[in-house]
Structure 1
Amino acid sequence: MKFLMSILLVGLSAVSCAQNRVSQTEFKKLMKDPSAQIVDVRTSKEVAEGKIAGSTNIDYFSASFIATAQKKLDKNKPVLVYCAAGGRSASAAKDLKKAGFKKVYDLEGGYDAWKE
């Protein structure tokens, strides 16, 4: 019985994480919320090539990523994250959730898909 409960909890945890990845359509809807905080986790060099309007850059590769996020963002307001293609932002979203951010959403396909 304990084994089955463990499998169920692991499965629910995976589903919970997967639900934080959202389509471009859903991301755009979430952006309409005036309390939404849009975070670009790419490097400053990548951001210089273009970004989503209204986003704040917090480089995921920076050693101070979480500390900077905690300084600049409200943990109780929605956080919408994106990177170039979706890999870094998925990791960033996971780390932000671990740090206590309540509502974190990750743009599927990242900025590369957004600009197409």
Structure 2
Amino acid sequence: RLIRVGIDNVIGFVSDISELDRFKVETIKPQELNNTDDYFVLDVRTANDYNEGHLDNATQIHGSRIMWNLDKLPRDKKILSYCQKGLTNTIASSALRSAGFNDIVELEGGYSAWLDAKRQPALAN
């Protein structure tokens, strides 16, 4: 699966992760995303998917090309990244973190979940 997003130089793997250091990935639920003004919005889906619909102010860079386009990403603004359902986004965000982009928020469930959340009626208190 990694080859699909451009990661083709894997030297080894870890079979037991229980002793590895862990960090919490920052995520946001689609229902909590009221606007995108505070973020650099990064759509890591294909150009066709992007053209069919995307979040406001999104910049499209396919997940498999992300490491070749680091110069197009800001280092001084929080990046909100998403794909269609979440898998490609997780890998692309991890690659960005390894390249020194530490202020990344991942949209839970991707664009599909965001669309579903928009279709839900607001609940009254």
Q: TM-score range by the shorter chain?
A: 0.7 to 0.9
Q: How big is the shift at 1:24? A: 1.5
Contact kept, 8 Å, 1:40 with 1:57, in 2: the verdict is yes
Q: How far apart, in 2, do the equivalents of 1:98 and 1:76 lie? A: 17
Amino acid at match of 1:67: W
Q: How far apart, in 2, do the equivalents of 1:105 and 1:29 lie? A: 14
Q: How far apart, in 2, do the equivalents of 1:74 and 1:32 lie? A: 14
Gaps of 5+ in 1: 1-5
Q: Who is 1:109 aligned against? A: 109
Q: What is the 5 A alignment of 1:28-43?
A: 28=33, 31-33=36-38, 36-43=39-46
* Inter-CA distance 50–110: structure 2 relative to 1 (3 Å threshold): same
Amino acid at match of 1:20: E
Q: Who is 2:30 aligned against? A: 24
What is the count of residue pairs matched by the alignment?
Answer: 99
Amino acid at match of 1:47: Y
> Aligned residues: percent identity?
30
> Segments of 4+ in structure 1 off by > 4 A?
none
Contact kept, 8 Å, 2:36 with 2:56, in 1: the verdict is no
Q: How far apart, in 2, do the equivalents of 1:30 and 1:75 lie? A: 20
Q: How big is the shift at 1:21? A: 2.7
Amino acid at match of 2:73: L
Q: Who is 1:3 aligned against? A: none
Amino acid at match of 1:80: L
Q: Deviations over 1:80-99 (max 9, x none)?
A: 10000000001111011000
**RMSD of aligned alpha carbons:** 1.9
Amino acid at match of 2:72: K
> Per residue, is there more helix in 1 or in 2?
1
